[in-house]
Amino acid sequence: MAVNYSIKELKELSSLLTEKTGLAFHEITHSFLKRRLNQVMSRFLIKRTNQLLERLDDPQFREEFIEFFSVESTEMFRDAGMWRNLKQILLDCSSSPVNIWFPDVSSGEELYSLLVLVEEIKLNDPIKILANHCSSEGLRKVQSGIIEAKKWDINTHNYKRFEGICQLEDYFIKQEGDLKFRPDLLAKVEFKKNFILNNNSLIDKQDIVIYRNSLLIYSKFFKEDALNIIHNNLKSKGFLCIGIQEALPNHSENVFEAFDLKNKIFKKK
């Protein structure tokens, strides 16, 4: 049975969740927060919000709860035109090494797509890829390389539209009925638990930041803070990729210029 929260209740609860987890639950959009709360309470058979808050004192449950708020459903090579243009950006990039950062690698498919792309273009320069996510459980899932079989058709369709030069199955191995992304490619990635607002200064300035659709669940205020952090960690003329239905805040025009507006690739001024 779904819980019907009032706006006031949601505001109060999201502030308490922020206190309990250290993450910005108070900046999550109400529609998403409400849906996920109902799902989590149904899954863990929790009837009242005070029971939920008590259970969040258990670190293991807290970790599962945080992971529940990740949006996992995407596709490899979603928006193939963006990946085609990113390929050209990489080919034209003169940095050595090329630094690429995923501030939130929530589902893996975006990272796997990049690794396929990098493998196919065979750059001479080394590439350093940093993948962050706010929960250890989420990172473990991405590192496992397992993708859902039901997404295979759409992934291969997207790969063809991306104009890949191999077969997508070349990048996977079959393991007990599942498809697992090649570990030798995943080994090129540094995985690190991190929430963007909590630890916001990277050692290396980045050439490319891929942060597509992760901000959809957050308020515009969170988005502004996150984009400021990304801006600070990008090299001059570095690239930012966001989701094709996302927009930069108005004041960002001063610090980013559109490189490919249709596919939402921006360049730091």
**Could you give the CA distance from residue 87 to residue 22 in angstroms, rounded to a whole number?**
37
> In the window 132-191, what residues touch another protein (CB under 8 A)?
157-158, 161
Binding of residue 43 to another protein (CB under 8 A): no
Rule CB under 8 A: choose which of 94, 124, 201, 245 binds another protein: 245
Stretch that binds another protein, among 68-76, 93-101, 112-120, 179-187 (CB under 8 A): 68-76
Tokens in use for 217? 């669940």
Q: Considering the complex, state which of residue 93 and residue 105 has its C-beta at the smaller distance from another protein.
A: 105
Task: Pick one of 63, 178, 225, 246: the residue that binds another protein (CB under 8 A).
Answer: 246
Q: 189 - beta bridge partners?
A: 129
Contact pattern for another protein over residues 13 through 42, marking x by CB under 8 A = ----------------xxxx-xx-------
Among 99, 113, 155, 213, binds another protein (CB under 8 A): 213
Give all strands (DSSP E) within the chain, no chain letters: 98-102, 127-133, 146-147, 172-175, 178-181, 189-193, 206-210, 234-241, 256-260, 265-268
Q: Please report, for residues 83, 96, 204, 209, the alpha-carbon distance to residue 128 in angstroms, rounded to integers and kept in the order given.
A: 18, 9, 10, 12
Give the interface segment with another protein, choosing from 41-49, 70-78, 111-119, 181-189 (CB under 8 A). 70-78
Task: List the 189-193 sheet strands across, edge first.
Answer: 189-193, 127-133, 98-102, 206-210, 234-241, 265-268, 256-260
Q: Which stretch binds another protein (CB under 8 A): 67-75, 84-92, 180-188, 195-203?
A: 67-75
Q: Which is nearer to another protein, 157 or 231 (CB)?
A: 157
Q: What are phi and psi of 155, to 5 degrees?
A: -65, -45
Which among 54-62, 65-73, 133-141, 195-203 is the span making contact with another protein, rule CB under 8 A? 65-73
Position 74 contacts another protein (CB under 8 A): yes
Q: Are 123 and 86 in contact (CB under 8 A)?
A: no
